[in-house]
Structure 1
Amino acid sequence: MTSKPPLLASMFAPWPRIPIDTTDGSDFFHLDRVAGSAATGWALGPEGAYEQNLTLAEVVDGAVREALLHLLELGLIDIDSDRLNAAPGLPTHRERAVP
């Protein structure tokens, strides 16, 4: 596993990115498949986007929520609460650097 970048120095300071292996067969690749399946299942299910006629923003929020919940419930990812609470702020947008 790659070490975590340092926390932000201030609210809007740049957040250093760490490299992630996204190639076929990588750990990320497997998590992406599991999360994507959970998100798609939600979107197509009775409480999802098609049944509720949701806006695109609601679809994205719902799909991300379902994917994260699924990965957390499976114990495949953990929330670093200390790190989350220690940061003066977290960026909600990121520059696109992954192909």
Structure 2
Amino acid sequence: MTDKPPLPARMFDPWPRIPIDTSEGSDFHHLNRTAGSAATGWALGPEGAYAQNFTLAEVVDGAVREALLHLLELGLIDIDSDRLNAAPGLPTHRERTSP
């Protein structure tokens, strides 16, 4: 794992990004497929988004939640609580740095 860059000093300062290998066969690729399967299963399942006629925003929120929960429950990702709580604020929009 790459060392994490320091947190920004103030809210709304840019967050330094960690480079991620997204190529086929990478760890990210495997996690993305696992999370995507969990999210798709939730959306298409009998209690999921399509069965309940959710809005697009509800579908996205539910799918992201399901994917994150699945990866956390499997122990494949961890929450860095110290970093989360030390941050002056969290960016809600992702700056695109790769295709």
Same fold (TM over 0.5): yes
Hey, what's the Cα distance between the residues in 2 that align with 1:62 and 1:96?
Answer: 23
Identity over aligned pairs, percent:
87
Provide the aligned length of Structure 1 versus Structure 2: 99
Instruction: Map 1:1-99 onto structure 2 (within 5 A).
Output: 1-99=1-99
RMSD: 0.7
Q: Flag the structure with higher helix content.
A: 1
Hey, what's the Cα distance between the residues in 1 that align with 2:84 and 2:46?
Answer: 33
* Structure 1 stretches of at least 4 aligned residues deviating more than 6 Å after TM superposition: none
Shift of 1:3: 1.3
| TM-score for the superposition, normalised by structure 1 | 0.96
Unaligned runs of 5+ in 2: none
SS at 2:51 equivalent? helix
